[in-house]
Amino acid sequence: MPTSIIEKTRSSFLQQDVNLSKYTTWNIGGPASYFCEPGTIAELKRGLNYADEMGLEWRVIGNGSNLLVADSGFDGLIVRVGPKFADHSVNGDVLDVKSGAPLYKLADVANDYRCSCFNFVTGIPGTIGGGVTMNAGAFGYEVSDFLTKVTYLSENGEVKEMDVLDDFFEYRNSPFLYSGEIVLRAEFRLDRSSHQPSMSEILSTRRSKMPYSLPSAGSIFKNPSKADKTAGEMLDIVGAKGMRVGDAVVSHQHANFILNDGHATAANVQNLIDILQERVYKEFGVTLVTEVEVI
């Protein structure tokens, strides 16, 4: 790429030394050397091309709700796929949503069409892209239950589609989780045979069980597949509630939540995660696996 184009890319929509703490729900993280928020696939490609030409590492983030960013930040390009990349449309029983839209948009739109099948995502603070990549779920449902097609950017920069999905999505896992491919949009079916509690009821249930008063990243650990207890139950038994490292503290309401009680650092959080994993392993012989992505 000629230098003039590199400079044009940098000046047009790339920002430098952007503090990432305001782009994570934990309010934790140092600066990114470069940062952009594309509104189109062309802009997304432009940012990635710039990173490749300059020899920069790059990472894609959404709402930052499952993200622990190092205190030193990220020496590369952070691409935030968010509100600028969030259009949606409905055609019959098909809901097509760009990956930067918030997950709750599924429930909002579906309810406009008298369909409650996505109410389970109410209160989950991620984006469509993050929800598909992590196969987000709650109350016995997962995003993949209603997913019919994913449009994504391949590692070599091609726009591709995947519409055979059944064998590729598992609990908190998808083909996109570690692939280097970027979810661009997703199609879902409006399933009127799925009758779920109202959005307000689900939100009320969440608030009664989960802490919302301080910044967090939601559940820290995945529920072990071969254990008879959830991660939260095991953490409760080993006395995790109230444990603290610096301003990182385990919620008294739910032991699988680490809260930022003021000025927690990424190091505080990581140290606390390590301690919790060690306690659970000693008590149950189970290695808890984090849901949180570390940058």
Query: Would you say 267 and 259 are in contact if contact means Cβ atoms under 8 Å apart?
Result: no
Task: Report the relative pairing of strands 141-142 and 137-138 from DSSP bridges.
Answer: antiparallel
Residue 7 to residue 295: CA distance in whole angstroms = 26
One-letter amino acid of 112: D
Closest CA to 255 of 238, 269, 267: 238
Pairing of strands 141-142, 94-98: unpaired
Cβ atoms within 10 Å, residue 139: 13
Q: What are the phi and psi torsion angles at 125 (to 5°)? A: -90, 20
Tokens of 15: 């920002």
Residue pair 291/222 in contact (Cβ under 8 Å)? The answer is yes
Amino acid at 1: M
Q: How many CB atoms lie within 10 A of CB 59?
A: 16
**Residues with catalytic roles:** 172, 219, 291
Residue 101 is classified by DSSP as S
Helix (H), strand (E) at residue 90: strand 88-91
For residue 36, the SS3 value is strand
Contact 115/192 with Cβ under 8 angstroms? yes
**Amino acid (one-letter) located at 96:** D
